[in-house]
C-alpha cells in the first residue's frame, strides 16, 4: 500500500528507533488558549511586541508593558497543558525523547510532566532585576503591581466587563487602550530599586549563552529532530534545523502552514498538533514496547 510522504505513518517510520529531540513553537500552546504571532489563525496585530531596547530605555513603554501584563498574566498563569504537552511528557517518560527545546515562555511543558526542557526564550513565571539580578516569582510581582495601583485595578474592572476576554499575546502582554496606563506605577526591585523585567527574551535581545549551550547539548544527544508548531521564522529556533541539515540529521515537522525548513525536511505533516501528535506518540510507544 502506498504511503503519503507527508503522512503521520511516514513520520513514525522516521522517528522509530531514534533518539528524538523536539523543537517546540507557539503552535504547541494555541490549543491551551494562548495565541501565537504567526499562525494561520492569528489575528492581525494592532501593535508590535515590545523590543528590548524600548523596554530598558523608555520608561513610558515600560509602564505600558507592565499595565498590559498585569491584565494578561492571569490568562497565562491559569492555562492548562493540552494533549500535545502530555504526549511529549509520555514520550520522555518512556525514554524515547532526549528532551525539549521550547520557544514558548508559558511553562506548560513542565506542568504536563516534562523534565528535560530548555526554555530557549525564558519563562514568564519569573521576574528579574536588570541591575542586581534578583529574582522573584511573577505571581509575587503581580501582587506588588496590584498593591501599587489599587485605584487602577478598580477602574480596570469598571471599564472592562470581562478583563479575561482582552486580546492577549504569547508573551503575556494584553491589548489595552493607552489611557489605562496613565498614572500606573511600576514597583522597582525591592533589593536595589532597579528595573524589573520578565525573565524572557524580548525581541532584539539575545538568548543567554549558557542557555544556548544547554540546548546544543540536548540537540547533540539526539539522532533526529522533530519540529512542532513552529514556522521557524526566528533564528533562535531555526539554527537547530540548519545545524541538523549540515550534519545530516533527519528533520521531521508537524505544523499548520509552511516553515523555513520544509524544503529539506525528511517528513512534513500538515496538521494541528492536538490531532497529530498524541496518536503518533501512541504508535511509537506501542512499537517500542513490542
Helix axes 8-15, 273-289, angle to 10 degrees: 40
Helix (H) or strand (E) holding 282: helix 273-289
Cα–Cα distance measured from residue 118 to residue 9, given in angstroms and rounded to the nearest whole number: 28
Give the active site residue among 121, 155, 179, 182: 121
Active site residue 121: yes
Q: For residue 105, what are the CA distances in angstroms to 12, 17, 146, 250, 278?
A: 28, 30, 22, 27, 22
Polymer length in residues for the chain: 290
Cα–Cα distance measured from residue 29 to residue 187, given in angstroms and rounded to the nearest whole number: 30
Cα–Cα distance measured from residue 53 to residue 98, given in angstroms and rounded to the nearest whole number: 35
Cell numbers standing for residue 113: 510532566
C-beta of residue 249 within 8 angstroms of C-beta of residue 264? no
Alpha carbons within 13 angstroms on the beta-carbon side of residue 91 total 32
Q: Which residues are known to be catalytic? A: 121
Amino acid at each position: 500500500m502506498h504511503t503519503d510522504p507527508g503522512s503521520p505513518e511516514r513520520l513514525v517510520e522516521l522517528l522509530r528507533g531514534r533518539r528524538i529531540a523536539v523543537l517546540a513553537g507557539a503552535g504547541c500552546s494555541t490549543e491551551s488558549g494562548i495565541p501565537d504571532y504567526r499562525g494561520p489563525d492569528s489575528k492581525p496585530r494592532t501593535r508590535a511586541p515590545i523590543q528590548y531596547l524600548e523596554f530598558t530605555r523608555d520608561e513610558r513603554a515600560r509602564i505600558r508593558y507592565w499595565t498590559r501584563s498585569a491584565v494578561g498574566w492571569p490568562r497565562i498563569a491559569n492555562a492548562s497543558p493540552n494533549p500535545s504537552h502530555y504526549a511529549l511528557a509520555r514520550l520522555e517518560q518512556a525514554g524515547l525523547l532526549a528532551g525539549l527545546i521550547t520557544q514558548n515562555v508559558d511553562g506548560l511543558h513542565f506542568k504536563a510532566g516534562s523534565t528535560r526542557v530548555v526554555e530557549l526564550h525564558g519563562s514568564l513565571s519569573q521576574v528579574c532585576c536588570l541591575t542586581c539580578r534578583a529574582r522573584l516569582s511573577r505571581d509575587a510581582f503581580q501582587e506588588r503591581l496590584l498593591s501599587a495601583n489599587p485605584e487602577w485595578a478598580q477602574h480596570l474592572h469598571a471599564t472592562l466587563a470581562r478583563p479575561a476576554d482582552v486580546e492577549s499575546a504569547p508573551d503575556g502582554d494584553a491589548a489595552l487602550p493607552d489611557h489605562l496606563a496613565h498614572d500606573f506605577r511600576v514597583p522597582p526591585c525591592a533589593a536595589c530599586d532597579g528595573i524589573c523585567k520578565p525573565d524572557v527574551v524580548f525581541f532584539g535581545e539575545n538568548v543567554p549563552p549558557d542557555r544556548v549551550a544547554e540546548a546544543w547539548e540536548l540537540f547533540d544527544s539526539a539522532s533526529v529532530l522533530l519540529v512542532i508548531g513552529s514556522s521557524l521564522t526566528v533564528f533562535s529556533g531555526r539554527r537547530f534545523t540548519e545545524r541538523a541539515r549540515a550534519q545530516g540529521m533527519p528533520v521531521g515537522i508537524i505544523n499548520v502552514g509552511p516553515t523555513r525548513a520544509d524544503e529539506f525536511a525528511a517528513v512534513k505533516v500538515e496538521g494541528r498538533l492536538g490531532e497529530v501528535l498524541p496518536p503518533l506518540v501512541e504508535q511509537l510507544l506501542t512499537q517500542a514496547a513490542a
